[in-house]
Amino acid sequence: MIPRILLALTAMLAAGPASAGGATGGDILLMDNGVRGLGMGGAYASLAGDLSGGLEWNPAGLAFLQSNEFEASYASMYQGMNQGWLAAGKGLGRSGGAGVGVSYLEAGTFVATEADPSGGYSITGTFKPWSRLVSGGCGWALTGPDGSLGVGAVGKWVEESIMERDAGAGAIDLGVLMRRLFGRFSAGAAYQNIGSAAGLAGYRLPEQFRAGIGVEWGRWSGGLDFLVPRNGEAALKTGLEIAVNRVLALRAGFDSALGEGLGKYSGIESGFSTGLGLAFANYKFDYAFVSAGLLGAVHRFGLSARWGLAQGRQVLAVAGRPPPLPAPPSDLEAPAAPVPEVLPQPEAAAGTGPVAGRTEPRAVPRTRPPILPVVSADERFSAADRLAAAGSFSQARQELDRVLRTIPASERGVCDYWLRVGRIFHLQRRFAEAASHYQGAVNCAAVLAGSWPGLPEAWLGKGMCLLDGGDREAAAAAFSAGLGANPGPDVRDRLEKAADRARFP
């Protein structure tokens, strides 16, 4: 792939657009920048659920950004070339996500010559060709931010300079990504570098179609991509990743296009790649090694950071739409005010009383009920917890329904109600209903926009229900959200153990 850049630069020096034939310009557009994807041989069209995947492989990947992201990478190449990339992205809640990036390529120093009248060529100086690329785009989650289907578009502006001859052109990528097919599989496709026929200084941009399938199974992730350039031969890319533990991930892959593009410079090892990732809290370091046969190798290093779960993703980051906020139970209406009961008096003797011979009614109030002690919401919650632990689920629900009647909708006690009902269903192994109520607790916390100490436990309960249902990816997302909700030591320990169970079955 890289020698094509040099060939394109040489062609632009030697001839004008008319003699370019099928040549293309803007080959920086063919350079993928995500370190994880490169370590997996470039097979990333179906796994592109992060910032680099969305900007570089499949724009639909931007639809699944769940937080703020920053990523930077640098590549040291053969023949004095080097290339760098910076990008930032943001999850946009329920809608999807957006990202921007900038990339540059310095192709080293070349000698400029001109024809000598006496024959041969004379050196007139040196020059440094360069290219730069600015990109930005959005992805839209069509079936909710838990992500089953997303679409996206990325706009690009590419510039090249050779011997003080500058040129620029615009392009666009379009993509679609389907995730969680049968719970573990994904599929994606993108058409990239769509531009005008005029292209870059008369050279058409390198349009290409990319499609792939992927699988995420426990600690393993793998992808298989097919790449079909507009001018060129189709290529196959495949890659694999294993998460050794919560810190270390190892990768390997193969890109058939690399060996073919190097021609006589390719060796038997051309196209093979390997890499690793090291994760520390919200930060990650990635490295990729890509073999280029006799020309040498490419070493690419990357740093990334994620922070701040997007508003709306905190509510719906895991599969399943939450139920609405609870309404007070209909069977617990407040008792009506006592109505005086009119009892007839014995008939008065004739000629006595206010009116002789007439019965006068007398209002006799009902007996006043005894004044019961006021039971606080916390006391009822504690009573419900004891009843649930003893297996008296129906009585526990009655206590919770009573306390719900007394709690204003704006108070955090409503969140506690959802959490405790979720626990009851969970103890009964009614996982779908439990997960729905745990999500209701998360909903309440988001609506109240305040700090609720039960939020990490709600995410833990939701994740455990999903894990018991076999959806490890969604469970891992729930545990991650719980860890980001400032849990206490005990809940944090439970979340970390649950996250390990989800990732390493």
Q: What is the CA radius of gyration of the chain?
A: 34
Burial of 188 (0-12, 13-18, 19+ CB in 10 A): buried
Extract the runs of DSSP E, i.e. beta strands, from 142-271: 149-162, 165-181, 185-194, 208-217, 220-229, 235-243, 248-255
Contact 289, 253 (CB under 8 A): no
Predicted pLDDT of residue 161: 84
What's 307-319 look like in SS3? EEECCCHHHHCCC
What pLDDT, on a 0 to 100 scale, did the predictor assign at position 101?
Answer: 96
Q: Contacts by 346-349 with C-beta closer than 8 Å and gap 24+?
A: none
Is 256 strand, coil or helix? helix
CA nearest neighbour of 318 among 145, 178, 68, 62: 145
* Contact present, 360 and 353 (Cβ < 8 Å): yes
Cα gap 90→85, rounded to integer Å: 17
d(Cα 28, Cα 72) in Å, to the nearest integer? 17
Q: How far apart are CA 40 and CA 387, in angstroms?
A: 53
* Separation CA 350–CA 355 (nearest Å): 9
User: What is the rounded CA–CA span in Å between residue 231 and residue 225?
Assistant: 18
How many degrees, rounded to 5, is the angle at CA 199 between CA 198 and CA 200? 120
Bridge partners, residue 101, by sequence: 87, 135
Provide the CB-side half-sphere exposure for 300 (13 A, CA).
28
Residue of 36, 454, 455 whose CA lies nearest to 276? 36
Q: How many CB atoms lie within 10 A of CB 412?
A: 17
pLDDT at 260: 57
- Say which residues have a Cβ less than 8 Å from residue 318's Cβ, sequence separation at least 6: 146, 439, 462, 463, 466, 474, 475, 477, 478, 481
> Hey, which CATH number is domain 2-14+22-114+121-310, 3.30.70.3000, 2.40.50.100, 3.90.1150.10, 2.40.160.60?
2.40.160.60
**Could you tell me which of 50, 281, 92 has the C-alpha nearest to residue 177?**
50
Distance CA 321, CA 329 (A): 22
Report whether 291 contacts 261 (CB < 8 A).
no
* DSSP track, 274-293: EEEEEEETTEEEEEEEEE-G
How confident is the model at residue 179, as a pLDDT? 84
DSSP secondary structure letter of residue 408: -
Q: Whole-angstrom Cα distance, residue 6 to residue 129?
A: 10
The Cα–Cα gap between 218 and 471 comes to 10
Q: What is the largest CA-CA distance in the chain?
A: 155
Distance CA 86, CA 382 (A): 52
Whole-Å CA distances, 113 to 13, 29, 116, 315: 11, 28, 9, 64
Question: According to DSSP H, which parts of 143-301 are helical?
Answer: 256-262
Q: What pLDDT sits at residue 422? A: 92
In angstroms, the CA 263 to CA 284 distance is 35
Q: Do domains 2-14+22-114+121-310 and 376-503 have the same CATH topology?
A: no
Length reported for the chain: 505
CB atoms within 10 A of CB 123: 9
CB-hemisphere CA count at 13 Å for 446? Answer: 22
**CA 130 – CA 165 distance, rounded (Å):** 11
Residue 247, phi then psi, degrees to nearest 5: -105, -45
**Residue 37's closest CA among 19, 15, 63, 55?**
55
What residues in the chain have per-residue pLDDT under 70? Answer: 1-24, 78-79, 94, 144-147, 183, 197-199, 259-269, 293-295, 309-375, 409-411, 448-451, 504-505
- E-strand stretches of 38-120: 67-76, 82-91, 96-106, 110-115
Find the angle CA(335)-CA(337)-CA(340) to the nearest 5 degrees: 135
- 322, 319, 316: which is closest to 469 by C-alpha? 319
| In the block, residue with structure tokens 């392009």 | 171
Q: Where are the domains of the chain?
A: 2-14+22-114+121-310, 376-503
Q: In CATH, what class is 376-503?
A: mainly alpha
pLDDT of residue 368: 54
